[in-house]
A and B are shown apart, each in its own frame.
Chain A
Amino acid sequence: QVQLMESGGGLVKPGGSLSLSCAASGFTFSDQYMTWIRQAPGKGLEWVAYISSGGSIVYYADSVKGRFTISRDNLKNSLYLQMNSLRVEDTAVYFCARGGNRMMDHWGQGTLVTVSS
């Protein structure tokens, strides 16, 4: 069965950096677009970024463009999100999901990122 497991969340100061990972299993990772979505505490869902199956196509939300970088390693079946220049408003649970050029049909359980001084 499809499994997605995020890791790397934690507490970071404003202006700091953090790197998230998402380990995928149960499907052919290299065939699938992948996406990061976040959810601030008590708020709705916000799309962050997606990456094509081969990694050549990436799109970012305006709120993170220039600060976040999505990438993938198809040999390791892993998706990444490098987050720099973090702001208080980046505090959220970050989900990875399968899909991006179409619906997101499987989601991980999420990892919490807290940006606070």
Chain B
Amino acid sequence: SYVLTQSPSVSVAPGETARIACGGSNIGSKSVHWYQQKPGQAPVLVVYNDRDRPSGIPEQFSGSNSGDTATLTISRVEAGDEADYFCQVWDSSSDHWVFGGGTKLTVL
């Protein structure tokens, strides 16, 4: 089955740029979606189809996808961006949705 790999944690200072990676075999050929989840809350879609933002999501959030790595980039990080971030793809070989293990973003 298809596996998505995320680093458990990323730390960044306020105002800096956070990059959260999601690794998978030839993930560049798939559409990647990203979700933000704050403690005790439901996940929120922040990027879909590799790089598109739903309405209401600030331009700080952007995405890219190529080769074996997809990346969620958060510019000008604020304390309010501290959360867990999950990547997701559809694995057509198994007809399953797959989530990465999640990355905890800490704002120093």
Contacts and interface: CB of A to CB of B under 8 A. Distances in A.
Interface of A: 35, 44-47, 50, 59, 61-62, 95, 100, 102-110
Contacts of B54: 105
Contacts of A103: 33, 45, 48-49, 88
A59 B97 CA distance: 9
Interface stretch (B17-25, B74-82, B98-106): B98-106
A109 B88 CA distance: 19
B59 interface: no
B101 A47 contact: no
B44 interface: yes
Contacts of B97: 35, 47, 50, 100
B3 to A, nearest CB: 13
Given A61-B96, A103-B88, A105-B54, A45 B45 contact: no
B48 A105 contact: yes
Tier of interface size on chain B: 20 to 34
**7 interchain residue pairs of minimum CB distance:** A47-B97, A103-B48, A107-B42, A103-B33, A44-B102, A45-B99, A44-B101
Contacts of A105: 45, 48, 54
Given A44-B100, A102-B48, A110-B42, 20 more contacts: A44-B86, A44-B101, A44-B102, A45-B37, A45-B102, A47-B97, A50-B97, A59-B95, A62-B1, A62-B96, A103-B33, A103-B45, A103-B48, A104-B33, A104-B43, A104-B45, A105-B45, A105-B48, A105-B54, A107-B44
Nearest to B34: A103
A79 B41 CA distance: 21
B42 A95 contact: yes
Contacts of B44: 107
Interface in B27-60: 33, 35, 37, 41-45, 48-49, 54
A21 to B, nearest CB: 16
